[in-house]
Amino acid sequence: MKIGMMAPNSTATLKVMRNGLQHDVPVTLGEFPSTEARASLNHHDSAAPDKSLDGVSVENITPETAQDLKLPASTPGVVVSEVSPASRAADAGLKPGDVIQQVNHQSVANVGDFSQALGKSGKDDSVLLLVNRDGNTLFLAV
């Protein structure tokens, strides 16, 4: 059976070649987040509300994501899944795996809150982000 046809949370065994030897590696399959659970902020429209976070993609924090990032399951915010190297956000130091907890001092619990908070900033304004990185919080101005 092809992996794409298997149900989420089922186990598949992958055959991996390493140093000329074949290893069987069991993996638990996850589910790709729905479009409601992730947001891509790659604006190409001059009427877009905010340009400071072009090239940044964020997703809701799932229990699996929290575990991967070694965060408590109750951690609020959105996790940065992608940052374009040529973006203002990358220049400011934002990295994949960062958890954005506030946008301009407004708390963010999910992708909807994040988008709403960004919509309140002007299209050329800087954005102040409260970021949790490896259990430490810091502010980034983008």
> What global pTM score does this model have?
0.65
Look at residue 118 in the predicted model and tell me its pLDDT. 87
Q: Kindly state which CATH superfamily the domain 33-141 is placed in.
A: PDZ domain (2.30.42.10)
Phi, psi of 102 (to 5 degrees): -145, 145
Q: Give me the residue spans of the domains in the chain.
A: 1-31, 33-141
Contact 106, 119 (CB under 8 A): no
Query: pLDDT by residue for the chain (142 residues), tens digit each?
Result: 677 778 888 888 888 887 888 888 888 887 665 545 555 444 433 333 446 688 899 999 988 888 888 888 788 999 999 999 988 899 999 999 999 999 999 999 999 999 888 888 766 568 999 999 988 899 999 8
Beta-bridge partners for 131 = 100, 138
